[in-house]
Amino acid sequence: MSPSETELMLKGYGLTTAEFFYHMPDYVHVLNSYVWQDYDIAPDHPKLFQFVEFWQSEIEGPLHSVRFTHRKLIGPGEWQNQVGEFTLH
């Protein structure tokens, strides 16, 4: 069973979004883009680099460039368990 998104964020993972620009296989002067997202660990980004290696070995369209950003949505120090009850009439 894979961990939930919250568990990944508490372990230090953040949301990585990458935009891949690549040449079309049949039209080498045409650039196309592909957007990829996954939870990854900065600054090494092992999942992103694994995907880049997969692209280079399996996809026919050669990469032109990759632009990415990484955002930690929650950190271990930011998480607090809140318990409460509100009664509405």
Sequence-separated (6 or more) residues with CB below 8 Å from residue 12: 41, 72, 75, 76
Q: What is the DSSP code string of 8-38? A: HHHTT-EEEEEEEEEE-SS-TT-EEEEEEEE
17-52 pLDDT tens trace: 999 999 999 998 999 999 999 999 989 999 999 999
User: How much is the average pLDDT of 3-26?
Assistant: 90
